[in-house]
A and B are shown apart, each in its own frame.
Chain A
Amino acid sequence: MQNKYDVLIIGGGPGGAMAGKAVADAGLSCCIIEKRPAIGAPVRCAEGVGSEISDYIDLDPKWVSSTIEGALLVAPDGQTLELNPKMAGNEVGYVLDRKIFDRELVWNAANAGCDVFVKSRASSAIMKDGKVCGAVIETGGKTVEVYADVVIAADGVESKFARWCGIDTTVPFAELETCVQYLMTDIDIDSGQNAFYLGREVAPEGYIWIFSKGNRTANVGIGISGKMCKEGKRPKDYLDAFVAKHFPQGKIIELMPGGVSVCKPLACTVADGLIIVGDAARLSDPITGGGIINAIYTGKLAGEVAAECIASGDCSKKALMKYDTIWRSSKMGKSLARNYQVKEIFIKLEDEKLNSIVKSVSTLDMETFDTKHLLIKLVKYNPWLLKEIVTLKHLLE
């Protein structure tokens, strides 16, 4: 490990890996430090992504556990709504294998020239006159100081690095989806379809997912609002009840707890010498909890902007602000803002209303597979939604 790089990246998830590759591709020196001993493990993710991931990265078939051709929504009363692509058989998304995916993204960064150190943890920020200048790193029993012109905080849901730089990254507990997931095998599932179970009894202010990992195997998990979590009613309690009912014979080969933020993004995602990306910037989708693509997009953008600012000799907050402005006005930024408002509406909806929405139509053909287009379709069958929820109309425009 050198004691000075152009760019230092904290965290080796998809956000950090993409940032490292972008900086190295620009010909600058950079280093990713990852506190875990192995990239991508344990997996803290249901691994589902929409097919639009191909707009951001060349998807290697090795990274894909299953190709998804549709989704099933299950209402609190058990009625179902099937979502199919307009062209039957078209792929609408994938369930990744993140142990392989995350590792290959870091490999790509390393091959481009980025240094990588695992089992190396940032333990504080180095600040000078209010500017972020590097990090203190615990590695192999030693404490070292590493300086950089720009530090990219890609440290995921914990987001401690930005906090050490004086930015409050606390997730309000009601906006933290508290999750447990089992990797289950020997279960009867449709391997081309992902399923979502809704309802106060099933998963209050959240949902249960079954994301296919291929033949008779799936990520079966739950997220509920931190507000609803209490002793005896933790996500694991709900998930165990669900599994006992639906997959009593299934075998659990992995147990994984986790947290996903569904709050608004940080008010500002840069500071002097600092850029914050992915989950650390609170960029997971407030409705689905999905954050892989957002981490990839913002990681790459952060690397590019950092490289530009270094080349022009100005890494002030004002110069790095370009990053913040670009992602906020991007499709992703707009969809995060909209989905936050939509989430606020839908978590208040009673089970009876959810039942009647699902009852209104049993299959939908989707030209575009996302929450906005789904809502537009559902409103068509349920015009009362627009009447009851006045704000919904302008959100869907």
Chain B
Amino acid sequence: MLIIKREVCGYCGACVSVCPEGALELVDAYLTVDPETCLDCGICSKICPLGALEVKNAE
């Protein structure tokens, strides 16, 4: 599951551009993820300039 740390995110949209699934959406000043579409691939969390994204394995 993709965790968005809202306190860290600077709502820049960099992650949106690299998501192969189009699962991320920047609604003006906050980022949302569509859990149905997200594949937990971690690409977005890799490139976030601030480290605001994290893929947590569901347990």
A residues lining the B interface (CB < 8 Å): 35-37, 44, 119, 121, 156-160, 163-164, 169-173, 176, 178-180, 226, 229-231, 234-236, 255-259, 261
Contact = CB atoms under 8 A, between A and B. Distances in A.
A230 B51 CA distance: 8
A131 B28 CA distance: 27
A236 B12 contact: no
B35 interface: no
Given A234-B49, A257-B12, A257-B50, 12 more contacts: A35-B28, A158-B26, A160-B16, A170-B22, A176-B18, A178-B48, A256-B10, A257-B10, A257-B48, A258-B13, A259-B13, A259-B47
B27 A173 contact: no
Given A156-B13, A170-B17, A171-B17, A236 B49 contact: yes
Q: How large is the interface on B (under 10, 10 to 19, 20 to 34, 35 or more residues)?
A: 20 to 34
A173 B45 CA distance: 11
Interface in B15-59: 15-20, 22, 25-29, 43, 46-51
A35 B26 CA distance: 9
A36 B26 CA distance: 10
Most buried by A among B20, B27, B47, B51: B47
A156 B14 CA distance: 10
B17 A157 contact: yes
Nearest to A164: B22
Nearest to B51: A234
Contact of A256 (B12, B27, B46, B48): B12
Nearest to B44: A173
Contact of A226 (B13, B22, B27, B47): B47
Nearest to A156: B13
Contacts of B10: 255-257
